[in-house]
Chain A
Amino acid sequence: MPARTLFDKVWDAHVVHQVAGGGPALLYVDLHLVHEVTSPQAFEGLRLAGRRVRRPDLTLATVDHNVPTGDRSLPIADLVSRRQVELLLENARDYGIELYDLASPAQGIVHVIGPELGATQPGMTIVCGDSHTSTHGAFGALAFGIGTSDVEHVLATQTVLFQKPKTLEARFHGLPGRGVGAKDLILALIGQIGTAGATGHVIEYTGPAIRALSMEGRMTICNMSIEAGARAGMIAPDETTFAYLMGRLKAPAGRAWTAAVDRWSLLVSDPDARYDRRVDINVGGIAPQVTWGTSPGMVTGIDGAVPEPASFTSPAEQEAARRALAYMGLEPGRPLEGTPVQRVFIGSCTNARIDDLREAARVVRGRRVAAGVRAMVVPGSMAVKAQAEREGLDLVFREAGFEWRNAGCSMCLGMNPDILAGGERCASTSNRNFEGRQGKGGRTHLLSPAMAAAAAVTGCLTDVRKLEPAGEAILVG
Chain B
Amino acid sequence: MTPFTTHTGIVAALPRVNVDTDQIIPKQFLKRVERTGFGPALFHDWRYRADGSPDPAFELNQPRAAGASVLIAGPNFGCGSSREHAPWALGEYGFRAILSESFADIFYANCCQNGLLPVRLTPAEMTELFQRHAAAPGPYHLTVDLERCEVRDDAGFRASFNMDAYRRASLLEGLDEIGLTLQLEPEIAAYERRRAALAARYAS
Contact = CB atoms under 8 A, between A and B. Distances in A.
Interface of A: 16-17, 19, 21-24, 26, 28, 37-38, 40-41, 44, 49, 51, 65-66, 78, 80-81, 83-84, 87, 129-131, 145-150, 152-153, 156-159, 161, 163, 165, 195-196, 199-200, 226, 229, 231, 252, 255-256, 259-260, 263, 295, 297, 316-317, 319-320, 323, 413-415, 432, 434-437, 440
A247 to B, nearest CB: 17
Contact of B16 (A51, A256, A319, A413): A319
25 contacts: A16-B191, A17-B184, A21-B165, A26-B181, A26-B187, A37-B31, A129-B82, A130-B82, A145-B82, A147-B109, A149-B110, A150-B113, A156-B181, A158-B188, A195-B79, A231-B106, A252-B203, A259-B203, A260-B202, A316-B15, A316-B16, A320-B18, A413-B27, A432-B20, A440-B26
A38 B106 contact: no
A263 B203 CA distance: 12
B145 interface: no
Interface string B21-47: 011001110111111000000000100
A150 B17 CA distance: 27
Interface string B107-136: 001100110000000000000000000000
A87 B33 contact: yes
Nearest to A83: B33
A38 B88 CA distance: 13
Contacts of A22: 164-165
Contacts of B113: 147, 149-150
Nearest to B31: A80
A259 B23 contact: no
A23 B166 contact: yes
Contacts of B53: none
Contact of B104 (A38, A196, A256, A317): A196
The 6 A-B pairs at the shortest CB distance, nearest first, are namely: A23-B166, A40-B33, A147-B84, A147-B110, A149-B113, A196-B76
B105 interface: yes
A147 B91 CA distance: 15
Contacts of A24: 164, 166-167
Contacts, number: 178
Interface residues of B, number: 53
Given A153-B178, A161-B181, A19 B27 contact: no
Q: Which one of B16, B81, B104 has the greatest number of beta carbons of chain A within 10 Å?
A: B81
A290 B203 CA distance: 47
Given A21-B165, A84-B31, A157-B188, A435 B22 contact: yes
B43 to A, nearest CB: 11
Interface string B178-192: 100110100110011
Contacts of A158: 188, 192
Contacts of A259: 202-203
A66 B32 CA distance: 12
B197 to A, nearest CB: 14
Contacts of B104: 196, 199, 229
A106 B111 CA distance: 35
B110 to A, nearest CB: 4
Contact of A196 (B79, B82, B166, B187): B79
A80 B34 CA distance: 12
B22 A432 contact: yes
B9 interface: no
Interface in B31-71: 31-35, 45
Nearest to B190: A16
A146 to B, nearest CB: 7
Contacts of A148: 35, 84-85, 110
A153 B165 contact: no
Interface in B76-113: 76, 79-85, 87, 102, 104-106, 109-110, 113
Contacts of B30: 37, 65, 415
